[in-house]
Amino acid sequence: MRTPILKEWGLKAEPVFLAAGPCSAESEQQVLTTARALAKKGVGFFRAGIWKPRTRPGSFEGVGPAGLVWLEQVRAETGLKVGTEVAEPAHVEACLEHRMDVLWVGARTTTNPFSVQAIADALRGTDVPVFVKNPMSADVALWLGALERLANAGLTRLGAIHRGVSSPLEMRYRNAPAWKMPVELMRLMPEIPMICDPSHICGKAELIPAIAQEAMDLLFDGLMIEVHPNPSEALSDAAQQLTPEEFFLLIDKLQLPQEKSGSTAFVNRMRKLRDGVDELDSRMLELLSRRMETVREMGKLKSEQNVSTLQPERWAEILEDRLKRGRQLNLPEAFVQQLMQSVHEEAIRQQEADRIGL
C-alpha cells in the first residue's frame, strides 16, 4: 500500500487513510458539528463540497467561498487537514487564498481535458496535494491524462479517487463499481495513492460498508466517505451520507488485509495453486488462438460468397448456448456474456481485417 506516501504529505494514514465530511458545506454550524465528531476518529482530512456541479439548474450548488472560511475554522479548532473539490481556476485561487490543505478534481471535470489543463495551469508553482476522481465514463486514459496534466504542471503530490462510473443499466448502485478501472490505473501508476469513494458508488448509505470493505480487499489506500450530522436534512445527496456514529461503526468493522502472508504453508499452497492457474491460462490462450484461426477461415468463405461478416442468427444461437453452458458450470451469466461478447468482437475484427485488407 502507498500510505507512507500520504504520511509524507502530512496526512494521517494510520492504519488507513480516511477522508470524511459532508457532501456539501451547508452552514457554519453543520460543518463544525461534523468536524468535531470526526476529529475523534483520526480522519486524514475533512472534506466538504463548496461548489457543487449539479446535473440540472435550480438544485443547491454550494455556498461558495464563505464555506472556505468555515473550513479554516475547522482546521483551527480541531487540527484536521481540510479540503474541497475544484472545477475551475477561480476555485483554485480561492482555495489557495484560504490555504486548503488538499484539493480534488471531480469526475465531471476529469472528463474534460480543457478544464483539467486550466486547473493544472492555475496550480503551477504550488505543490498542494491533489486527488483526481475517475471520469464519469469507464475511460482509464482520461483519468491517466488528467494526472499527467497535473504532473506536467510541476505537481508531485498526486493521488486518485475511484467513485464508480455511470451506467445505463438498472442496478443497485448509483454508479457501477467497475473495479477493473482503478486496478488498471494502479498497474500503470503504481506510485499513485488510490482512494475509494464508496458514497458515490453506492448512492445509498446502507450499501457503503460492503463497498468500503471490497476496496480494502483490493488494496486501496483509503476511503473518502460523506458524513453528515443529520443526513435526512442534507441539501445534496442525502441518501448516501452516513451519520458520524454510522461512520465510526463502519471503520471499527473494517478489515485491512495484507498483500502477503508470512505463513510458509500459505506460500507453498498458493504457489501450487498459481502454477495450476498459469497452466490453465496457457491452455485457454491456445484454445482462443485456435478459435481465431477457425473464424478467419470462416471469414474467407463469407468473403468469397459475398456473405455478411455479422451473422445475427448465428450470434444469437452462440450466446444462448454459451450462457446455458455457463449456468451448468456455475459461471455468472454477466461474466459469460461479457467474455463471449469480447471473443465475438475480436472474431469480427479479424474477419473484417482479412476482408478489407487492413
Which DSSP symbol is given to 239? G
C-alpha–C-alpha distance, residues 204 and 34, integer Å: 19
pLDDT at res. 178: 92
Full-model pTM = 0.87
pLDDT digit string, tens, across residues 196-238: 999 999 999 999 999 999 999 999 999 999 999 999 999 988 9
The contacts of residue 19 (CB under 8 Å, 6+ apart) are 43, 44, 45, 46, 47, 83, 102, 195, 222, 223, 224, 225
- Output the average pLDDT for the chain: 94
pLDDT digit string, tens, across residues 291-323: 999 999 999 999 999 999 999 999 999 999 999
pLDDT digit string, tens, across residues 172-204: 899 999 999 999 999 999 999 999 999 999 999
C-alpha–C-alpha distance, residues 52 and 229, integer Å: 19
- Tell me how crowded residue 30 is: count the other CB atoms within 10 A of its CB: 20
Q: Which three cell numbers stand for residue 185?
A: 490505473
- Which domains are assigned to the chain? 3-253 (3.20.20.70), 264-356 (1.20.59.10)
Q: In the predicted model, is pLDDT for residue 137 greater than 70?
A: yes
